[in-house]
Amino acid sequence: MQASLEINGGGELTDRQKDVLNAALRLLVEEGDRLTMTAVARRASCSKETLYKWFGDRDGLLTATVQWQASKVRVAPVDRARIDLPSLKASLEGFASDWLSVISSETSIALNRVAVARAGSDGHGLGAIVLENGRMALARRLKPVLEAARDKGLLAFDDAETAFRSFFGLVARDVQIRLLLGDRLKLTEAEIGRDAALATRQFLALYGADDNRDEGHKHKHPSS
Amino acid sequence: MQASLEINGGGELTDRQKDVLNAALRLLVEEGDRLTMTAVARRASCSKETLYKWFGDRDGLLTATVQWQASKVRVAPVDRARIDLPSLKASLEGFASDWLSVISSETSIALNRVAVARAGSDGHGLGAIVLENGRMALARRLKPVLEAARDKGLLAFDDAETAFRSFFGLVARDVQIRLLLGDRLKLTEAEIGRDAALATRQFLALYGADDNRDEGHKHKHPSS
DNA sequence: GCCGAACCGTAACGTACGGTACGGCAGTTG
DNA sequence: CAACTGCCGTACCGTACGTTACGGTTCGGC
């Protein structure tokens, strides 16, 4: 019950505890929501008693596992000092391909699956965590870039949230829901790059300032 | 085991069986994946023996329930005979607001939740059904419209699939994943209409033929 | 009115799994 | 060495639930 005292943030964890959580994470990817405490204990070569002592109950273990995975993703902030059209374009393409790589990874799919499943029944804590470290974190990182670009006259929009959501939609499209529903969707590195470039061109076509919207709105591809 | 013989397509069902499936559907919306056979039997005022005789096992009941809901959604095909820019725009806005209404409905959220949850572990049959009657059905209905519009010179694209996926992304954006993860996201009728209109304007800005792309690509809203 | 089929309500069975208790072992402290 | 601590391995308990079995009831057909 009081397990969340020792598992704040995800920083104060013993190496052994991190090993256990990594084992739980691997098992979560393999088994999905139907992993058992016994299986986690066996995989991590620890006793169930230890699991319950460290994480309280099954819910605490799942929460700690998701938080542990979330804490592993740390991103360097983008310097909004000098930004021009090529660097903006490169930055957007970077965000897009990063995001596509994340949502198509086995780990992300497994974590989102269990979070979605549990959001239905009782505490939707896992859903909030996944959302906070996924879509919301992306928005927090991307919005300053968008606003800096607007300050430089490269983009034109009223609401950064709306612009971000358009970018999100252009990038993700139907990929995440199809993967979550079990669609066998191959996403090679090259395809991710192409999709990221297309999404960036389309976003610039929609939100670029007038003198920058000279590309990407037709079926004829521009330079790249 | 052999239950799927009597539950093909979803058409040959007794009225009583439909009642049972409706009860199961309501319970699925309320309880999510953790509905029990006992609860379904009690809600439907039928015996568990009957449930097992009709649907084989729990999996068969869930599958039949999802198929039953899917079979309830029937859409009139759009006449692709004469289509001009205003009718295309209205048609796209209709598709967009319909889709937003669907994915934000409690029923769709519940069904997608259980399908996503079960896509992780064993047979991903439910995921395939939901995908087939959701995204894929939308694509089948929308693509003829897009191609008819291209034939009339209203749209310009190489691949209808790519164009559809862009439309899908512009419409859905982050709505579905946020709702599935438990985000309290209010979507009023008015907001759905605004979002549908915005997505349509953006789609036309990206894929409209040159003489029709004179609106919707800036933060200043056009006429409507 | 009688028969069989279909079905309701409920009790019972088997199992899987979350959670707990306990014995043993290794490392540490004194 | 003795006592203590932390943890592993495992056996165990209670419960929830899928699944089955059965007695009782309704209903259409003869």
Taking only the tens place, the pLDDT of each residue in B38-49 is: 999 999 999 999
Does residue B5 have a pLDDT over 60?
no
How far apart (Å, rounded) are the C-alpha atoms in residues B221 and B200?
A: 13
pLDDT at B78 over 70: yes
> Which pTM does this prediction carry?
0.88
Residues sharing a CB contact under 8 Å with residue A120, sequence separation 6 or more, in sequence order: B32, B33, B110, B113, B114, B117
- pLDDT, one tens digit per residue, over B113-136 is 999 999 877 667 899 999 999 999
Q: How far apart are CA B200 and CA B64, in angstroms?
A: 35
**How does pLDDT run across B83-123, given as a tens digit for each residue?**
899 999 999 999 999 999 999 999 999 999 999 999 877 66
Query: Which B residues 138-177 touch A at CB under 8 Å?
Result: 156-158, 162, 165-166, 168-174, 176-177
Checking each nucleotide's C1' against the CA of A52, the nearest proves to be C19
- The answer to whether A181 contacts B115, with C-beta atoms less than 8 Å apart, is yes
Least confident segment among B74-88, B99-113, B169-183: B74-88
The better pLDDT of the pair B81, A187 is held by: A187
- Min Cα distance B136 → chain A (Å) is 10
Collapse the DSSP code of A155 into the 3-class scheme (helix H, G, I; strand E, B; otherwise coil) and give the result. Answer: strand
The answer to whether A136 contacts chain B (CB < 8 Å) is no
Name which of A173, A210, A213 to mutate to probe chain B: the one with the most chain B Cβ atoms within 10 A of its Cβ.
A173
- Whole-angstrom Cα distance, residue B38 to residue B81? 52
If one counts every other C-beta atom within 10 angstroms of the C-beta of residue A137, the result is 14
Residue-level pLDDT at B101: 96
Cα–Cα separations (whole angstroms), residue B187 to A177, B100, B105, B173? 19, 9, 10, 13
Query: Which candidate from B124, B158, B173 shows the least CB-CB separation from A166?
Result: B173
Sign of the CA dihedral running A44, A46, A49, A52: negative
Q: Give chain A's residues under pLDDT 50.
A: 1-9, 214-224
**pLDDT above 60 (res B219):** no
Tell me the residue length of chain B. 224
pLDDT for A61? 95
Quote the mean pLDDT of chain B.
87
Q: Give B37 CA → D19 C1' in Å.
A: 10
Q: How far is A110 from chain B (nearest CA, A)?
A: 7
Give the A:B interface size as CB pairs under 8 Å. Answer: 146
pLDDT of residue A223: 40
Task: Give the per-residue pLDDT at B122.
Answer: 66
Q: What is the pLDDT of residue B120?
A: 79
A218 CB within 8 Å of a chain B CB:
yes
Tokens read off for A160: 């950064």
* Measured CA B17 to C1' D24 distance, in angstroms: 23
- The pLDDT confidence band at residue B212, using thresholds 50, 70 and 90, is low
- Band of residue B82 on the pLDDT scale cut at 50, 70, 90: confident
Place of tokens 């902030």: A77
Does pLDDT of B224 surpass 70? Answer: no
